[in-house]
Amino acid sequence: MPELPEMETYKNLLQLRVTGHKIVNVEVNREKSINTATKLFIDALNGNKIVDIQRRGKHLIFQLDTGKCLLLHLMLGGLMYIENDTDTISRTKQVIISFNSHKLVFIGLRLGYLHLLDDKQLKDELSDLGPEPLKEDFTLLLFEQLVDKKRGKLKTTLVNQEFIAGIGNCYSDEICYAAELLPSRTFDSLEHSEVQKLYNSIQSVLKEAIQLGGYIELPLFKEDKLTGGYNDHCKVYDREGEKCNRCGHPIKKEIISSRKCFFCTNCQF
């Protein structure tokens, strides 16, 4: 499901195609996806512009010229697509934001949402999120301080949004693999050098995934060749039984805290 690198990729691609374009029509086919009455939501967008797009954790924030914003969380299976006159997608569309020459459609929003908020509401909604792992202030020292208070499993803690924002089921496995650490290890069992390795792996895995466009398979628009480039680079996620990239042993799958978890028992310790 969309995690930090996927949302960052969406952000970068949407900046070029959505910001600055006048919204000429809005369609809401599923009221549960939004947080206001449909008419209110539509009126807040129609005729206005998205002036900026930011990412926080797995959220995207569409800043409107009116001062309000849209907070997006795709949750499980949520996707976006940009349609135009010659290219449409045959999926159920929960929300459609139309511009003059193209449409931004939201599909697969089940638990996902698009909330219309003012600054204060936005701040409140995001207040429980942990640090951004790729921001400069996320230093090794800060990570060591956060880790110091933790005793839980790497897997469970890495996907906890209050610990670090943006890491989900796929990248937590990939990060543990890159760090050569078993996801079932606990933080209080880590040597100092292992904490450092984990910190470096968080950075390198997320950065590489962003560079390659994340692992989501559906392109954002027809000519989009960036999105999904990381799919082939996943070393363990969803690769049960396949040979480990490093040592050739078969990748194992196990449920850890009711989540699918993939790792190599031979070269992760």
Q: Which residues bind DNA (CB under 7 A)?
A: 1, 30, 32, 57-58, 73, 75-77, 91-92, 107-108, 110-111, 128, 149-153, 156-157, 159, 161, 168-169, 186-187, 257-260
Minimum distance from CB of 264 to DNA (Å)?
A: 20
Q: Which is nearer to DNA, 141 or 255 (CB)?
A: 255
Contact between 72 and 59 (Cβ < 8 Å): yes
What's the gap between Cα 131 and its chain centre?
14
**Interacting residues of 44 by C-beta distance below 8 A, sequence separation 6+:** 36, 64, 66, 68, 116
Rounded Cα gap, residues 15 and 27, in angstroms: 21
Minimum distance from CB of 168 to DNA (Å)?
A: 5
Q: Which is nearer to DNA, 151 or 249 (CB)?
A: 151
Tell me if residue 58 is catalytic: yes
Q: Which is nearer to DNA, 187 or 263 (CB)?
A: 187
Minimum distance from CB of 75 to DNA (Å)?
A: 5
Rounded Cα gap, residues 122 and 15, in angstroms: 20
Helix, coil or strand: residue 52: strand
Q: Which is nearer to DNA, 76 or 247 (CB)?
A: 76
Q: At 81, phi and psi to the nearest 5?
A: -150, 145
Q: Which is nearer to DNA, 73 or 103 (CB)?
A: 73
Q: What ranges in the chain are assigned the alpha helix state H?
A: 4-17, 38-45, 119-125, 140-148, 154-158, 169-178, 192-211
**Active-site residue (options: 5, 6, 8, 58):** 58
Minimum distance from CB of 20 to DNA (Å)?
A: 28
Minimum distance from CB of 212 to DNA (Å)?
A: 19
**Active-site residue (options: 2, 5, 133, 183):** 2
Rounded Cα gap, residues 143 and 134, in angstroms: 12
**Interacting residues of 211 by C-beta distance below 8 A, sequence separation 6+:** none
Contact between 239 and 251 (Cβ < 8 Å): yes
Active-site annotation, residues: 2-3, 58, 259
